[in-house]
Structure 1
Amino acid sequence: MNGPTGVLIGAGKGVIRSMIVNGDLKSEVIPVDIAINGLILIPYHNSRVEKRPLQIPVYNLTVADQKKRTWRWVMDVGRDLGKKYPFEAGLWYPDGNMTSNKLYHTFCCVMFMWLPAYFIDFLLLIFGQRRFMIRVQNKISVGLEVLQFFTTRQWDFKSTHFEQIYNDINQDDKKNFKINTDDVDDYEYLKISMLGGRQYVMKEPLTSLPKARIQLKFLFMLDRICKTLILGSLAYWLSSKVGLIDFVRSNFEILQK
């Protein structure tokens, strides 16, 4: 549940409603099997060198610069995939937003994450059920705080040592231990990450997708109805405070006469 996969799951479930992200910065996200292949190849390569270096080499396994996607692209594609392959029984419709404004993020967290969590736990307490939403929100807050350290900074990792390994190994090793990200389909990769999180983390089989899509449509309607009622009530209250409603009512009565 840590890292980008946890964010995809949390956003897809409608639990994460806001994140502090600089959407213009490039992400550093790489398939885990490529990272594992790298961990296998590094000691293998070092064991074959004739002369050990005086200093311990540092290997950074990174995505090629021309392949790096912005965080905005990652979040937009994740939101799109979350609607195409929805999770079962989400807390709310998955339409959270990303922002670099901490004040706005705090407002969204309080209004759309913490208050609903307290309300749901209050209802669970009334009905004698086990409360869990506050505990979930605490975990999410810690995870987002850790992740935002990476989503609000530009990173420039040099991977020259690791690239040298790729150049030195033979064609069979390149085929068996894939470490080159040039031919990775980014959209397909995020799609597999989403479906993998759905199946293996949340234990939701693909056969439940039709039911989940129906639930998503219901949550969409509920979300729009609630937002319309809230915004309409707020507009009515503000109009009453500034006297706009009385002004319209008096003009309407004059026209009737």
Structure 2
Amino acid sequence: MSHAVVKKPETDTCNSSLKQSLHPAQSHDAKLLNGSLTSHQLQPRTNGLTHAAASSAASVASSGRHNGEQSPSYERYRADDSSYVPVGQFFAGRSVFITGGTGFMGKVLVEKLLRSCPDIRNIYLLIRPKRGQEVSARLTELLNAPLFESLRREKPKELSKVIPISGDITSEELGISEKDQNLLCRNVSIVFHSAATVKFDEKLKLSVTINMLGTKRLVELCHRMMSLDALIHVSTAYCNCDRTDVEEVIYERPYNPDDIISLINWLPEDILDQLTPRLIGKRPNTYTFTKALAEHMLLKEAGNLPVAIVRPSIVTASLNEPFAGWVDNFNGPTGLVSALAKGMFRTMMCEKNYVADMVPVDIVINLMIAAAWRTATHKSNDLRIYNCCTGQRNPLIWSEFVKYAMCSVRKHPLEGCLWYPTGELRMNRPMNTLNCIVKHFLPAYIVDGVARLMGKKPFVVNVQNKIAKAVECLEYFATRQWRFKDDNVHGLLHTLSPKDREIFVFDVRHIHWDKYVERYVLGFREFLFKQRPESLPDSRKRMVRLYYLHQLTKLVAVLLTWRFLMSRSKRLNDMWSAFLDNALKMARLIPFL
């Protein structure tokens, strides 16, 4: 079995017309500031190339790879291999630096390293000071979260290994003091870069600053580290969402990353906002666009650093670790299933037979740790990429996900559920829009109107607006399908010993989706809505009442509609009377009647 990799280029020989547009004539400046940029003045990078460079770019584009080549097969684990170093043992005595450590994935990574790599030396977390709260206070708050409960109870001393580093991913040199930079450069041998803005509707300027410039600044710091053995960069499987088949390679870039950085520094933000749709092209948002360019920036800037990229798909609640169903945010499917559980969400645009490529957060974290181990213990000039997805090995389609979610939210209902949970996936936009109006916004305005009459603060319309915005962001991914190749992930799995495979689980074939979704629902019920299992009996009684109320409402709606039609049409009234007469005559023919 062969695996696609990417060779790191020494220089970037391609020019872009975008770069040329960064130094235009004065008259062109005036046109830009007036918002009258024409289509030929801003083109992807292959325009404006020399003939030779254009031919090379075309060749790369046709092959679907950027400086790609075949790598040797992964060697399978052998019990008699005395050179094998277990993953946990590999981290013994090492110090790790993590960006994004206070985020959803970062928290799970910290907890997993402390629990499964007990001899790890230190974990340095890049933490941004907040107004009125120092990084030490933020770290204390982080370690007091439910996620670290078992560690606090069983291995409290391990928590002292976590050391905060004050900094900001948006600042020069990551906002890290010279003293702390020297500390990191002397001690750190493994770096996990998971800091990113995951907001789909983020302004391009901030998205570039965090996802691209943040990556560049981190790489600059890594070049100064004396004993760096692995840099693991967290990207996204959807950075190449403009193509259907996505292999574990870096594809031809849409623009030169340096040109985009120059653009955001040069153009006023209002003009930049106008240009954003043209810049991102077929990609749906600035997140996927900047993540794609960040990979190219990493490819260019990393030089001879030992680097690997992990590309997860839609990251959801934990499968098993540190406990099943843990989640701390309403992003992605979590928010929509939560709204469904509350009875506030009933319809969305979605191709029900397409794959819902979701991956539990602990699966991603275990792969990241294993990728760091592999990168450090098997030196190579190649940049290895791991597509961390479920669609190839254990696919779940959207209709199944909704079915499992619907069953689970009815079985484990939320307290204060507003209506009986129901929902449908549609691909007819006019019908979906009509259902949104009738089933989402009309009830919301009625409830808020009643609240105002009772002197209470209305909130349902505002919630529905937020749900609509979340649905709009997810719709692109729910109405399309991708095939993410994961040969490198599968190959890495077989290099681990059986014991390491049990400790660092990332084999998605073992996920039982019905059970997982049920734990997912129980997880957001407990960790997001703060509702204890003891409240379930009362919630289930309420759900039964809501079910009968829902059925009664449907019956009343049908009767009122029929009554309205009867009152408006004499012909329909006559037909109904004739039907009843015939039915009565037929009934009289039955002997026992």
- 2:512 maps to 185
Pick closer, same or farther for the CA change 1:233–1:41 going to 2, 3 Å: same
Distance in 2, Cα, partners of 1:224 & 1:145? 30
Secondary structure of the equivalent of 2:509? coil
Pick closer, same or farther for the CA change 1:186–1:246 going to 2, 3 Å: closer
Distance in 1, Cα, partners of 2:575 & 2:488? 74
Secondary structure of the equivalent of 2:370? helix
- 1:49 maps to 378
Q: TM-score with structure 1 length normalisation? A: 0.90
| Residue 488 (structure 2) pairs with residue 171 (structure 1) | no
- 1:245 maps to 573
| Residue 523 (structure 2) pairs with residue 196 (structure 1) | yes
| Residue 426 (structure 2) pairs with residue 102 (structure 1) | no
- 1:36 maps to 365
Contact 1:14-1:96 within 8 A present in 2 as well: no
Secondary structure of the equivalent of 1:72? helix
Secondary structure of the equivalent of 2:353? coil
Distance in 1, Cα, partners of 2:497 & 2:475? 39
Letter of the aligned partner of 1:193 in structure 2?
Answer: Y
Contact 2:415-2:539 within 8 A present in 1 as well: yes
Contact 2:356-2:391 within 8 A present in 1 as well: no
Secondary structure of the equivalent of 2:447? helix
| Residue 411 (structure 2) pairs with residue 84 (structure 1) | yes
Pick closer, same or farther for the CA change 1:215–1:44 going to 2, 3 Å: same
Secondary structure of the equivalent of 1:19? strand
- Structure with more relative contact order (C-alpha pairs < 8 Å, separation 6 or more): 1
- Following superposition, the deviation at residue 231 of structure 1 comes to 1.4
Residue in structure 1 matching 2:458, options 131, 145, 150: 131
Deviation track 1:10-67 (CA, whole Å, cap 9, x = no partner) reads 11111111111111111201111101112222222212222221xx332210116252
Pick closer, same or farther for the CA change 1:251–1:13 going to 2, 3 Å: closer
Contact 1:12-1:90 within 8 A present in 2 as well: yes
- 1:144 maps to 471
| Residue 345 (structure 2) pairs with residue 21 (structure 1) | no
Residue in structure 1 matching 2:542, options 212, 215, 226: 215
| Residue 58 (structure 2) pairs with residue 58 (structure 1) | no
Deviation track 1:64-91 (CA, whole Å, cap 9, x = no partner) reads 6252021111111111111111111211
Pick closer, same or farther for the CA change 1:250–1:81 going to 2, 3 Å: closer
Pick closer, same or farther for the CA change 1:246–1:59 going to 2, 3 Å: same
Distance in 1, Cα, partners of 2:578 & 2:351? 50
- 2:335 maps to 6
- Following superposition, the deviation at residue 250 of structure 1 comes to 10
- Following superposition, the deviation at residue 248 of structure 1 comes to 6.2
- Following superposition, the deviation at residue 5 of structure 1 comes to 2.2
Distance in 1, Cα, partners of 2:455 & 2:472? 32
Distance in 2, Cα, partners of 1:51 & 1:213? 57
Letter of the aligned partner of 2:466 in structure 1?
Answer: K
Q: Which has the higher strand share?
A: 2
> Identity of aligned pairs, percent?
28
| Residue 552 (structure 2) pairs with residue 225 (structure 1) | yes
Letter of the aligned partner of 1:136 in structure 2?
Answer: V
Pick closer, same or farther for the CA change 1:52–1:203 going to 2, 3 Å: same
Q: Which has the higher helix share?
A: 1
Letter of the aligned partner of 1:186 in structure 2?
Answer: W
Letter of the aligned partner of 1:185 in structure 2?
Answer: H
- Following superposition, the deviation at residue 171 of structure 1 comes to 2.8
Pick closer, same or farther for the CA change 1:194–1:247 going to 2, 3 Å: closer
Contact 1:240-1:246 within 8 A present in 2 as well: no
Q: How many residues are treated as equivalent by the alignment? A: 250
- 1:255 maps to none
- Following superposition, the deviation at residue 164 of structure 1 comes to 2.3
Pick closer, same or farther for the CA change 1:50–1:119 going to 2, 3 Å: same
Residue in structure 1 matching 2:486, options 130, 137, 159: 159
77-86 or 243-252: which moved more? 243-252
Contact 2:392-2:486 within 8 A present in 1 as well: no
Distance in 2, Cα, partners of 1:134 & 1:233? 26
Contact 1:64-1:181 within 8 A present in 2 as well: no
Runs of 4+ with deviation above 6 angstroms: 246-252
- 1:69 maps to 396
Larger radius of gyration: 2
Contact 2:393-2:508 within 8 A present in 1 as well: no
